[in-house]
Amino acid sequence: MTTEKTPPEDTLTLPRKVVSDMYKVCAELLGDTGYTPPPPGSTEKQLPDHILELIVRRYYLSTACETAEALERAIVRYRDHEAELMMWRDRMHAECRLNNKFTGVLCDCECHHRDDA
């Protein structure tokens, strides 16, 4: 019997949705839900090409990278938690599925465009 964990009301000062998403991602990473996401680049749930042509493709930021950006903002505000926040930020970026599972649009987060050379 798994009960959904909700973050406490006083959790940092991040928007409630971001904190809730972080809890869900952490639960998934720890195997709490039993859910296994499709591998990065999977087209399993992607809309058919003829439907994709009919919709406007907008800037896409994955939930993982969106959460990582929220963690980045928290690092500036909560320096005493910097190391842990940085660890979670990096972990969220690493968990990015790279493309939107419905449209196939690639994540536009700058973490995917860094030149490490």
Let me know the angle formed at the C-alpha of 15 by 75 and 71, rounded to the nearest 5 degrees: 20
Higher pLDDT, 80 or 37: 80
Non-local CB neighbours of 14 within 8 Å, separated by 6+ positions: 22, 70, 74
How far is it, in rounded angstroms, from Cα 15 to Cα 3? 22
Chain centroid to Cα 98, Å, comes to 10
**Which pLDDT tens digit goes with each residue over 54-110?**
876 677 899 999 999 999 999 999 999 999 999 999 999 999 988 888 888 889 999
Q: pTM of the full predicted structure?
A: 0.54
91-111 burial, b for 16+ CB within 10 Å, e for fewer? bbbebbbebbbebbeebebeb
